[in-house]
Structure 1
């Protein structure tokens, strides 16, 4: 079931709430923002999404700053040419195809990740040779023409000005989202018992 909801813009709509989709169509590009396509292995993008990109380029791109995770892929006319997924905790999950030009400085060691240190502890090297979120921003710029963090460059699309239509997409066989939210709230409320630590 699909119902129309309030829209957003590309800046605010990149990470929509659960069950929410934002989309826009332009003459040269179609955008879809939906967390359901944020997959650990971009090479395993569902077949129907790959098929929808027949005759053109399809680029799934996902970042998650809490776990320093990046995943992106490039499909050309239904053929996978590049897929990369990596995070601080899991390392390289997928690395298929040749690195794209914007990636090369990272793999060559020219953009190392900063070391991490906490007061009273020794410095620890970062788990990867570069920071996934830094590469993710460069991937977003190179593949999609905009960024969400960092300093914009001339020619970058201003994501705040790109309007997106909103849709609530629900599987009719799935539990009702309102009932699911109520059940989750009840569990959270039950966990809020007062505790006293001495």
Structure 2
């Protein structure tokens, strides 16, 4: 089957954890307000102001300048449009600064451009950085591909239009990255292990 272009998937999410990333949000129960504020301050600078909460499906793409930040028991999450980089490897220094001795995973995408990027980093170095869009082609492709990527690169998720510059839609890849790393998707077919992102809340912080 040829996929259609998904509409409305926008995300810029960075997760910091010392555990395996698969399905992290499936175990997300309550965030620590003090640690969340501290992380928001480290990311935004100054003294951020908490201005409310958003469900995860909206928190992954907050308003310009704002950040959705939460510190859960086993991982931290930062969502901000500042995370969205054409070259995800450019995010490594920021991810390393926030992660410390933990690993970092980022998924960014913008459906209006059918663009997606993925970053995986550990204290030992860069594991994976991939970014692509039909306008720019493959922007970056570094490191070993994750299992969820293989069907895309192997031609099992083809695009119907023969003139399309890529063999698959990056937005489809981005949603599968969300599923694999974090246990939720914005669009596509949910499986039994997917968390409903409308049921997970993330606080919103505005810069001072």
Structure 2 residue runs of 5 or longer lacking an equivalent are 1-45
Partner deviation per Cα, 1:30-84 (whole Å, 9 max, x = no partner): 1111001111111111524313223322111101001110011101225210000
**Structure 1 CA distance for aligned equivalents of residues 124 and 98 of structure 2:** 9
Matched, 1:136 2:174: yes
**Structure 2 CA distance for aligned equivalents of residues 153 and 46 of structure 1:** 31
Match of 1:146 among 168, 184, 205: 184
| Pairing of 1:1-198 with structure 2 (within 5 A) | 1=46, 2-45=48-91, 47-77=93-123, 79-115=125-161, 124-170=162-208
Give the number of the structure whose alpha-carbon radius of gyration is greater.
1
CA contact (8 A) 2:92 2:121 kept: no
**Structure 1 CA distance for aligned equivalents of residues 93 and 122 of structure 2:** 14
**Structure 2 CA distance for aligned equivalents of residues 50 and 9 of structure 1:** 26
Quote how far apart the aligned CAs of 1:23 are: 1.3
Partner deviation per Cα, 1:100-132 (whole Å, 9 max, x = no partner): 1110111111111121xxxxxxxx431101110
Between 1 and 2, higher relative CO (CA 8 Å, sep ≥ 6) is seen in 2
Task: Report the count of equivalent residues.
Answer: 162
Partner deviation per Cα, 1:160-197 (whole Å, 9 max, x = no partner): 11111110025xxxxxxxxxxxxxxxxxxxxxxxxxxx
- Alignment correspondent of 1:196: none
CA contact (8 A) 1:55 1:78 kept: no
**Structure 1 CA distance for aligned equivalents of residues 136 and 114 of structure 2:** 10
Q: What secondary structure does 2:67 align onto?
A: strand
TM-score for both structures, normalised by structure 2? 0.74
**Structure 2 CA distance for aligned equivalents of residues 152 and 6 of structure 1:** 28
Q: What secondary structure does 1:49 align onto?
A: helix
Aligned residues: CA RMSD: 1.4
CA contact (8 A) 2:106 2:120 kept: yes
TM-score for both structures, normalised by structure 1? 0.77
Q: Counting helix residues as a fraction of each chain, which structure ranks higher?
A: 2
